[in-house]
Chain A
Amino acid sequence: MADSKIKLSPDAFKPAHVSADEKEKIATPALTFTQDAIRRLKQNKAAIISFWILVFIFAVSIITLFVSPHNPNTQNLNYTYLPPKWGNLNIPFFNGKQGGVDMYAQNNVPKGVYFLLGTDYLGRDLLSRIFVGTRISLEIAVIATFFDLVIGVGYGIISGWKGGTTDTIMQRVIEIISSVPNLVVVILMLLVFKPGMTSIIVAIAITSWITMARLIRAQTLQLKDQEFILAARTLGESSWKIAIKHLVPNLSSTIIIQTMFTIPTAIFFEAFLSYIGIGLPAPTASLGTLLNDGQKALQTQPYLLVYPAIVIVVLMLAFNLLADGLRDAFDPKSSH
């Protein structure tokens, strides 16, 4: 193995000058935490596809504010329960036929009038109602989530940062609230307030901040003892300044991830409430009211349930997948 017979030029034994900087240089470029997380997120195909699906759904619900195939609230009793029809294309389920009978011809619907996803019991266009319904559901979910976030983050930070008796009392309150199934609380709230968008938003926001508050408190407790916070304290910065300047940025990934999980829950709550009949009053469309209408006519007009169901499932799926992706990207260690 040994080989001292290799002939080398004397130059080979000149000292190689390696600067101190060179020694400390790390070969691959360093990534910041966020860059690294985004890189991981981009590798998650399901999350990226979900993201674009959500962008698409949001775009469509904004665009349809201005353009819509039909007026979502116009009733026309001549057009009730028309099955989906795509122009003159003869595709099964989309040819306006039901049980072999052309319902459009039977109801004397003029040529050129057709409903891509059919009509409901009042002759309203389902597609237009789905557009409105999706927009309303998203509005409710996003606004409720925003309040949920403000309450949850505020509560969590105060509880964790203050500690001591304040923390104990605040935690007891959370324990009591969470000992009642959250939807029962939402329902009680809705009984007290008049049904409507505002009360649904308030009811959802009031009950769903608990998880956020718990997560934020736990993390605040952890961060509180970390050196950069201690350093800021020693330097005499005021407690609240520290909380805002140092704490919030460090909590941001938790907040983003949890928010992404809260939105689908809020969509579900709204749909649930409208579904059991204490949500939005008629004629407002939301995914929940559409599903409720669809359920009533399920045995004869299954499409009235199936299409809104597809929208809500796709929406929840996309939010959940994106949230999962974000969590894996930002918080690769913990997954609960």
Chain B
Amino acid sequence: MVKYVLKRIGFLILTLFLVASITFFLMKLLPGTPFNNPKIPADQIAQLKAQYGLDKPVWQQYLVYILGVAHGDFGTSYQFTGQTVSYLISSRVGPSLQLGAQAMVVGTLLGILLGAVAAIRKNTWVDSVATIFAIIGRSIPNFVFAALLQYFVAYKWGLAPVALWEDGFSSSVLPTLALAMAPLANTARFMRTEMVDVLSSDYIELARSKGDSKWQVVARHALRNSMIPIVTIIGPMAVDLMVGSMVVENIFAIPGIGEQFVKSITTNDYPVIMGLTVMYCFMLTVVILIVDILYGFIDPRIRLSGEAN
């Protein structure tokens, strides 16, 4: 087990290194820097380039960058003079994590509920309604959903703050809902198929033949067995949330890393783009690693065979 985790962490570091390197060279291929503005005099550009180390040969820049990344230093932002990328990210990661976590919890719980109900009432109107709901959730782009929520719920009906991150929890309600849509739809779909499978399995029939009522079967046997595999879609769900946060934070003007990422793209703030790319990659690989380890703990079949090895 320990060996396995160490191996995975090694691969994680290698992945991060490769991603950081590839991002670096991609950025070097870029047509311009923010200093290509014709209004800035040439000597000032030279000075700026020196300040950011852009006058050195590429391989030197690369070494400096990679060594920096290894220490958590992603350089300085072009856009916000003097601010380090690490500071920028760390000051903005809070709201993003909060939104992401809330959306993950809301999405998974509601998704499990919806999927389970659909599976138990398979081929009835309940199933159809749940399935249609899940498919619609999958088909509405999150930014459209966010914009509609903002217009109707906040602007028209005044039920929640329209934007910004100033009213504590109530500011997070609409963005959380907008973000939770995709995980909800995916979990519901996944849960339904898993549960339909489980409900038709032999051990459920055996449980019924023991005298379990329909609901006892669900509560004691079916739910747990169909919920375990949901752990495996947490990785893709995290991707959805990261991508979703870029637009949702933008629409609701939330000072998170997603909003920052989009802003940096439009202002060509390469150090921040690179830093955030590595950051996203780091978060995703860590989530996947945790999920894999967690899976081994939840599923007795994997847990015990792991111990035996």
Contacts and interface: CB of A to CB of B under 8 A. Distances in A.
B277 A188 contact: yes
B144 A302 contact: no
B210 to A, nearest CB: 28
Interface residues of B, number: 44
B151 A192 contact: no
Majority DSSP secondary structure for residues of A touching B: helix
A180 B281 contact: yes
Interface stretch (B57-65, B172-180, B242-250): B242-250
A191 B19 contact: no
Interface of B: 11, 15, 18-19, 23, 26-27, 29-31, 135-136, 138-141, 143-144, 147-148, 150-151, 155, 190, 193, 239, 242-243, 246-247, 250-251, 261-262, 265-266, 268, 273, 277, 280-281, 284-285, 288
Majority DSSP secondary structure for residues of B touching A: helix
Interface stretch (A18-26, A74-82, A101-109, A309-317): A309-317
Contacts of A182: 239, 243
A317 B131 CA distance: 12
B139 A316 contact: yes
A180 B266 contact: no
A320 B139 contact: yes
A324 interface: yes
Contact of A192 (B29, B144, B150, B190): B29
B284 A180 contact: yes
A298 interface: yes
B266 A184 contact: no
Contacts of A302: 151
Contact of A291 (B143, B150, B262, B288): B143
Interface in A292-323: 294-295, 298-299, 302, 305-306, 309, 312-313, 316-317, 320-321
Given A179-B285, A180-B280, A299 B26 contact: no
Contacts of A335: 193
Contacts of A312: 141, 144
A336 B190 contact: yes
